[in-house]
């Protein structure tokens, strides 16, 4: 059984966070994010 890689991104709505999120999704990661209110 292949296990999917996971990533937790803090600041996912920022410039770097959104870029990193798109990159990881393309690589097959399961991505979760944290935002500030």
Indicate the DSSP class of residue 33: E
Q: Tally the residues of the chain.
A: 37
pLDDT, averaged across the chain:
94
The domain spans of the chain are 1-37
Q: Which residues, 6 or more positions from 34, have their beta carbon under 8 angstroms from its beta carbon?
A: 8, 9, 10, 11, 12
pTM: 0.81
Output 1 or 24, whichever has higher pLDDT.
Answer: 24
- Please report where in the chains the tokens 């292949």 appear, as a residue: 2
What local confidence, expressed as pLDDT, does residue 31 receive? Answer: 98
- Span 5-34, mean pLDDT? 96
């Amino acid at each position: 059984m292949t296990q999917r890689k996971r990533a937790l991104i803090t600041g996912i709505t920022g410039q770097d966070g959104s870029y990193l999120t798109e990159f990881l999704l393309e690589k097959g990661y399961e991505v979760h994010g944290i935002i500030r209110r």
